[in-house]
Structure 1
């Protein structure tokens, strides 16, 4: 399987998935574990013996850039009673990616990261990972504070932080540094490190960058006026990795990304918590209706808090993050209205920061428009996680001993914990895990892919 998956990715820009989980660059053990995990959501374990024939059938097709879920192919084939061979069924299921229907490879799109903190470095890892096929998004530069007066040690330290991460582990590949040219080489990708204290100091065309998407990871500017400072020579669009203010669109991929106008130059990916709650909220509203709701987030601490007690402009956040539970506010509830304008329900929210470095949980308490049962809610959410347009956003687990660290590295916006779900009459309480760093970074990449025109369709097409 591994050589086939690699060849499809390199030569045809095809990403092979298994129930929305990429199998590209995965080890033997990882592929086997991904197959085994299918039992958590589909009810039974998948075997590589079942999926290999579909993978082999793909090699005989004239495929264009796409994402193809062999888990979905295997599952839908089982339910098909027409007597088709695997090859015939596969050809029909992915017809939209073959022949005259296939997308032609584009030139790719330059990307610039403005800020290189927790989210910036994870987004960089994802961009480098996805550069393997030579198409799509190209990370060209990183802008950090300094104005060009840094020593050679500065870029070495920044490269080291990209190489090693206490939570997410080692970078998968090689990283070298050319101090003289302020360039980091990651898996062969040349990434220029630009030192600047203000957007106005940078002319990106001087570095050969053109028509680029700039991802602002600093959160320093949240409104259109402030973010417009990034629209410098070489920059075409600006994407903010924090909730936008004013008329800046807040985009949650999978929910409202298709509302982005082609000429929109500035948009926001909202917050990690907004991305965690909006997809399941939409899924519940579509099926059961939502009258009102409250979200309580139990959130890992962040760099905004203090290591030890010290002054902070916000209430309580000055107290030691690793020693306390800290009550604070969340803007996620109010941001729901921007991402889900058709939702009539009033959603309130609050947050507690707790002494863990990553992975949070949102407790979504909903009053529904009709009475239902726990079984009906779980069956619906399980099906949404497998076959709906939200399957890249919503994951589902029945693991009885699941805890926060189990979800480090999850690429979904949120994971429904089936065992913790409570339903009584018209009241449903959902427990939603989310990797507030990596899962959110994956959502950011999906938005950037969409607005750049390199977001490839997934087959078989999810149910609408």
Structure 2
């Protein structure tokens, strides 16, 4: 048999193993509300090839490829346990098992590692929490996709309604079509139908009422059976407490803004300061996509090295706020054609750092350039550190943070030498450290941080909503503190 034959036979064997994993992953998700991860990447509803690619990607962050033959036994061991709602990382189980020298079997080790999610310790699935989307643009539709994807057993977040302004004839059909097809993020994974008579979109069995209103005061949510809901405002029209309080009507319990909040509205970056949210806080902001991209690595660097000062330059994809062709715009430069120009503009991300990281005393400045790409941006974070270090030490540290720290869902890591922006479309992390571009000279470090300013940010929004709703399930094995 030739080397080529061996390689192909090996591939077919791995395909067969990955295929056997799919029903196990699906059943755990549907029946027990367990999300199976591989190095923080969900394997739920993934194809055979996607599962194999996710295993192969482990070499980018862990240094070596992870085989399905290594992870399957851990997945099988989970089926024998009395699991409650949780997220379980079989990649981390496999990695930590390798370094364990106690001679435990896979079943014994797995049972110990996820003990917090089993038996008397397990969480009991609740009745779920209603969610309303106010606005259905780029972020609104991606948040909708994520909510539908994460419906799981039905005990978590439930997208009940979308509030939009009326758009004329066939409005519902057109909005459903935009949810079904996306030029950047591809086709919706599932089925979508509409019932115009009841003004309802059905997405993977989820009935989503489309409510038409020009102002929050026009909506009676209780008339649709909505109660104690979390409303996600995707319009950005109201950004202070007074304006956002308009949403606090019967049926709505909390308001989450997908833009930087003003005044005393808390700006939350999940993974960094979400645990500071007061239980009785009804209004909060998820800050901006750029703030979410830079704050987690900034915190990581400050924790290890200390940060004396910094500057962030964002090279940002154009947004819907800009013009396709030169035309009037109230802001400077943004009236010039977005697909044809690099456009210098301001960013509030640097000043927003203080809200998310109040203990960081270092001054952080920032500026931004909009460029002719539709999605994925890069933040160039230049830091003066509290001590001298080396490029190798910084990269080893950030790789470890991306794998094992509480920030592993926020910070990703890539060593791909040919990585470009489109490679990160669909990334669920707040930002991705580009190892090849990293510069370190004594106490100066420059980090290049890719981020999907649409999808990665939407994932951060969902994490905040899960946290305030009480359905943010714990992850096992628990990350190192």
TM-score by length of 1: 0.99
Paired with 2:220 and 2:274, the residues of 1 have a C-alpha distance of 29
Pairing of 1:254-293 with structure 2 (within 5 A): 254-293=271-310
1:104 to 119, 124, 130: 124
Contact persistence 1:148–1:194 (CA under 8 A):
no
User: How large is the RMSD of aligned CA atoms in angstroms?
Assistant: 0.8
SS at match of 1:371: strand
Instruction: Say which SS state the counterpart of residue 72 (structure 2) adopts.
Output: helix
Question: What SS does the corresponding residue of 2:244 show, helix, strand or coil?
Answer: helix
Which residue pairs with 1:372 in the alignment?
Answer: 389
Residue deviations 1:110-146 (CA, integer Å, cap 9, x gap): 0000000000000000000111321100000000013
> Residue 392 of structure 1 aligns to a residue in which SS?
coil
The answer as to whether partners of 1:148 and 1:195 remain within 8 angstroms in 2 is no
So what's the TM-score if we normalise by structure 2?
0.95
Query: 1:140–1:190: 8 Å Cα contact kept in structure 2?
Result: yes
8 Å CA contact 1:396, 1:418 repeated in 2: yes
Instruction: Report the alpha carbon displacement of residue 287 of structure 1 after superposing the two structures with TM.
Output: 0.4
CA distance in 1, matches of 2:192, 2:32: 26
The question of whether the paired residues in 2 share the 8 Å contact of 1:77 and 1:89 is answered with yes
Verify: 1:25 aligned to 2:12, yes or no. no
CA distance in 2, matches of 1:351, 1:174: 39
**Structure 2 counterpart SS, 1:148:** coil
Question: Residue deviations 1:381-400, cap 9 Å, x none?
Answer: 00000000000000000000
Q: Does the CA-based 8 Å contact 1:147-1:197 persist in structure 2?
A: no
What are the Cα deviations for residues 346-405 of structure 1, in whole angstroms up to 9, with x where unaligned?
Answer: 100000000000000000000000000000000000000000000000000000000000
Cα drift, residue 147 of structure 1: 9.4
Cα contact 1:276–1:414 (8 A) shared by 2: yes
Structure 1 contact 239–269 (Cα < 8 Å) conserved: yes
Contact map agreement 1:147 1:195 (CA 8 A) in 2: no
Asked if structure 2 preserves the Cα contact closer than 8 Å seen for 1:17 and 1:69, the reply is yes
Any idea what the Cα deviations from partners look like across 1:427-453, whole Å, max 9, x if unmatched? 000000000000000000000000000
State the Cα deviation string for residues 93-113 of structure 1 (Å, max 9, x = none): 001001111001011100000
Q: Deviations over 1:238-273 (max 9, x none)?
A: 000000000000000000000000000000000000
* Cα shift readout 1:32-73 (whole Å, capped 9, x = no counterpart): 000000000000000000000100111111110000000000
User: How many Å apart are 1:235 and its aligned residue?
Assistant: 0.1
- 1:189-244 alpha-carbon deviations (Å, 9 max, x no partner): 11000000000000100000000000000000000000000001100000000000
Which secondary structure does the structure 2 equivalent of 1:353 belong to? Answer: strand
Following TM superposition, the consecutive aligned residue runs of length 4 or more in structure 1 with deviations greater than 2 angstroms are: 146-149
Shift of 1:148: 9.2
Match for residue 254 of structure 2? 237
Gaps of 5+ in 2: 1-20
- 3-state DSSP of counterpart to 1:294: strand
| C-alpha distance in structure 2 between counterparts of 1:105 and 1:133, whole Å | 9
Q: Which residue of 2 aligns with 1:59?
A: 79
Q: Is the 8 A contact 1:147 1:196 kept in 2?
A: no
Task: Please give the alpha-carbon distance, in whole angstroms, between the structure 2 residues aligned to 1:134 and 1:49.
Answer: 31
Alpha carbons 1:295, 1:365 under 8 Å: kept: yes
**Separation of aligned partners in 1, 2:50 and 2:254:** 36
